[in-house]
Amino acid sequence: MDSPVSIPRSAASSLVFLRSQIPTAHPSAVVLGEERMGAGVAVGTAHVLTAHYLVLGASEVEVIGVDGRPRDVARITLDHESGLALLTLAGPPLRPARLGASEAVVPGTPVFLLTYGGEGERKGAVGHVSSTGPFEAFWEYLLERALMTTALNPGLAGGPLFDGTGALVGVVSLGLAAVGRFSLAIPIALYAARRERMEQGLPGDDARRAWAGIYPQGASGSVVLSGVVPGGPAEQAGLAPGDLILSVDGTHVSSLTELYRAVWRRSAGETLSFRILRDDALRVVEVTAGDRYAFYR
């Protein structure tokens, strides 16, 4: 507890508990498991926002509000680009959180997060925003502006991050192993920009960005593959763990950000030309970009 923030009742009542069941055959099950628990936040009387990996591939999702009453999930809308998911519910209306302006959040802003440690076990933590800026991850994910906080998440992911007034400014996605950067939140502005589409059940953008199905790692000005998604475009084309990626479509890449931006110049179905170094030999591997939404459907 490093910031004295009073938690409004309206913020606490917007929290929900989630439990997802994922079929064994779903591509995400081998990495993320077949049962996932998390938290979410009501952004409408029948809509809950959460981290998308908690419900990715789910055949069944249990949603329980702070009143202890379950809600049926009528639809799940994923957004791989932001890392968010919107659940459309049937059942007793929820009390939604008040949306804030995450773009106005700056380092030093007092914040608090709410979550569950398990079903019926609500928890919270307070802190400050320590930094805002780009965040890149090895599963072809890049946020241009993430919120890093000193609040240490005491429970499950997917819960809300509020500012000191009780306005929702983010969804807590990941724990970070860095001093002063304990929790990462996806800014609520990304949901606000997609809200109409997501409420209509329209995932992503109309033009699907290219997806290679790779797990790259960046270090010392180079990018190497630590793995490939089984059955994904890269594996089918012959890319393999240990490959050093030098360029994509002739564009030199030396970081994850450069790699992703080079890949995302293409759309699903187009060809990506990877120039790699493997076993001291230069090679060119042509990858037909996939559609992540179709693959993880």
pLDDT in tens, 257-279: 999 999 999 999 999 999 999 99
Question: What domains are defined for the chain?
Answer: 9-96 (2.40.10.10), 98-190 (2.40.10.10), 214-295 (2.30.42.10)
In this structure, the number of other CB atoms found within 10 A of the CB of residue 154 comes to: 15
pLDDT (0 to 100) of residue 216: 98
Confidence of residue 4 (pLDDT cuts 50, 70, 90): very low
Confidence of residue 178 (pLDDT cuts 50, 70, 90): low
Of residues 140 and 7, the one with the higher pLDDT is 140
Confidence of residue 27 (pLDDT cuts 50, 70, 90): very high
Please say if the pLDDT value at position 1 is more than 60: no
> Rounded mean pLDDT of the chain?
93
Confidence of residue 7 (pLDDT cuts 50, 70, 90): low
pLDDT (0 to 100) of residue 3: 41
Q: What is the pLDDT averaged over residues 220-245?
A: 97
Confidence of residue 2 (pLDDT cuts 50, 70, 90): very low
What pTM was estimated for this model as a whole?
Answer: 0.93
Per-residue pLDDT reduced to its tens digit, 79-134: 999 999 999 999 999 999 999 999 999 999 999 999 999 888 999 999 999 999 99
Of residues 10 and 121, the one with the higher pLDDT is 121
Percent of the chain with pLDDT over 70: 95
